[in-house]
Structures are given as structure tokens and as C-alpha cells.
Structure 1
Amino acid sequence: MDSTPGRGPEVPACHEWTPPGAPGGATRAPASAAAPPAPVPAAGPGGALAAIRRWQDGRCAVCGLRPARLVVDHHHVSGLVRGLLCESCNVAEGRRTSYYAEPYASYRRRPPALIVGLTERYPHWRPNAYHYVLGDPPDDPALAARVLGHLIRHPPRRPTGRPVEIPGLPGHYLVGDEMRRLAERLAAEA
């Protein structure tokens, strides 16, 4: 995570950068020492992804570091590009069991694509090609109750089975062993 004073680990670096097309008086947060990137023209050559690359200027949207290589992060369900992340932040973003874990929740709510105001599908995206492993109940108690209720009524196959839709959750899931055992235990107690 960026060690810039004044910005805690709950704030993604891209939220501190000057939005493209901001009025001349707008500057980056004073705690940041690096110069802001040049404004990005609307889409421009290469489309939205190229505009996001120009605005991010080689920096990871979450930690703010400038690695040798950035990867394109995208929403697996919609296929829309969110931004560019270093490999560490991309792996961490994908492994967060809580949708609300910071700084990733803030990054997901307001990714670089939204800040730049452009959308583009990830070039290699295919509908239903991705799935998640549901290893723990969701953090929201009401959603957890609905998910567990669904799993009790529709017992999941082992994780090697086919990904399934679970009402209330986006995307397709393989149900992990712990969730499967929890659903089986609750079904036996009912």
C-alpha cells in the first residue's frame, strides 16, 4: 500500500488523483508528492482502456506504485474493465472473501473507468466463463441466511461440480467444502 502520509490503507490511490478534465484549480490531495497525470481526452486513440492507461500513468489504481507491469482488472460478471492493478493488488482484490474489505470495496465502487467516465469490455471476456468459490457465508447476515437457505433446499455438488447461480449473489459459484458441510449440518438440524 502507498505509504503517502494522510492516506490510510482504506483509500485506493486512484481516489487521490486529479480526475481527467478537472478544472484548472483542482489538484491532487496535498499529501501526495507525485505530479498529477495529464488530463485524458474523451476516449481518444485506442478507446477507453487506452484512456485509462494514460490517466493512470503507469500507477496501480490501489497501491499507487509503478511496477514494471500492470494487469487489466475487470468485473467478471459484466466483463467491464475497472482499471489497471499491479499483480499483488490484482491477486489480493480477487481473493478478498469480503466484498466490503478495504481498499478494494472503495476501488470496486469507484474504479478508474468510472472516474475517467469510459467503459470498455475486457478483450478476453466471455459470459459465464468465470466463477467464484463460495467458501464462507457472505458478511451480510440477511444475505448469508438467504444463501444458506438456498444451499439447504438445493444441495450443492462437490467443488469439482459445475458452477451454479445462487440467488442474491452475482455470478456463478462453485460451493466450497466448508459451505457445503455447513449447509448439510443446518439441513440435518432442521
Structure 2
Amino acid sequence: MPESDMISWTSGTWTTEPVTAEERDGTLVVTAAEGSDAWRHTAYGFVHDTEHALLAPLAVGEAMEVSFRAPWDGQFDQTGIFVRRDDEHWIKAGVEYADGHLGLGAVVTDIRSDWSVGHVDDWHGSELTVRVSRWADAVIVRARAAGGEWRLVRVAPFDGSAAASAGPFLAGPTRPGLVVTFTRWTRSSADDALH
């Protein structure tokens, strides 16, 4: 992967303010509000735009990585990275705890949301990293656990002519008290290949 630059926790702007966000020894410890989530229409029939995403500009040709730890014990607890063009065009990618399993996936929203997910129960307890690379016509999502091998998660269409921003996100759709420790936020040049 290309050499990366750290992004300051104070460089971003929250889409929705979390309950608390506190810098501790270089990390950012964030508490999600109960009922926070991001979704548009598909299958569930509702629109939720109350996720906590700390966003900074992401240009074509750039990549962003977010690393984090979470307890993974609340139904639909989720965290990772959020890429946003506007209210109706965004991607959330990372992990979600549902029905006793930890799932790695992405929600890609182009007016309506879709969702892809697969179990990664062996990642429970590890520091996780999600990486997005912005190409002229796509966002490439990769993830890994504890510095292991990168896993391709998604290749999603994304308008390269539009301004976009990205950064760490979390949501606690069903309970109060989800606390996520974000350990790293970096920017680098985008990956130049899918494989």
C-alpha cells in the first residue's frame, strides 16, 4: 500500500454529533446515540440519516483508511468508514454485529441502499481497518484484521466529477452506549489495481 499521512481527529466534521467524542492518547473514543443509523428505503421502507460520520475531503486518486476497536455485543452495532457525496449518494463500509455474528460488508446508496455482507467471526476482538480508494468512476473497498491480508469487499460505482468526503463512522441502531475506539485515520494515494 502507498505511504500514508495521518489525519487529525479535529480535521473532520460530524454528519450527526455523537453522544461523546474524546481524544485519548492519540485515539478517538466515540459513543453512539441510540437509534443512529444510515439507510435509504430498500426492503425496510425507511430513511435513516443519523449516523455519526467524521468526514474530510476525499478526491479522486486518494485513499483513506480507518482503524478501530469495538466490543461487538449489541444488535446491529456498526462501524467503519463512510464516503459521502450527498444525502442520497453515499457508501458505508465496515463491520456490523447482527444475530450473534460479526459481518463485513458495505451499503452502497444511489437514492436507494443496497447491502452486501459476509461473516468474519474470527475478526472479533481484533483491531480492524477499512480502506477506500477513489477512482474516476468507482470506490474500491478493502478491509483487514490485525494487520493481516487485505480482503476486497466491494467495487462500487461512484461519480468522479462530484465532490466527496470520507472518514470514520459508527451507529447504534438498537441500543444506547456503543463505544468505538478509532485508533488511526490516514490518507494516501489510491490503489492502482483491484487484484
Determine which structure has the larger strand proportion and give its number: 2
**Which bracket does the TM-score occupy, shorter chain normalised?**
under 0.3
**TM-score normalised per structure 2:** 0.24
Larger radius of gyration: 1
Determine which structure has the larger helix proportion and give its number: 1
**TM-score normalised per structure 1:** 0.24
Q: Which has the higher contact order (CA 8 A, sep 6+)?
A: 2
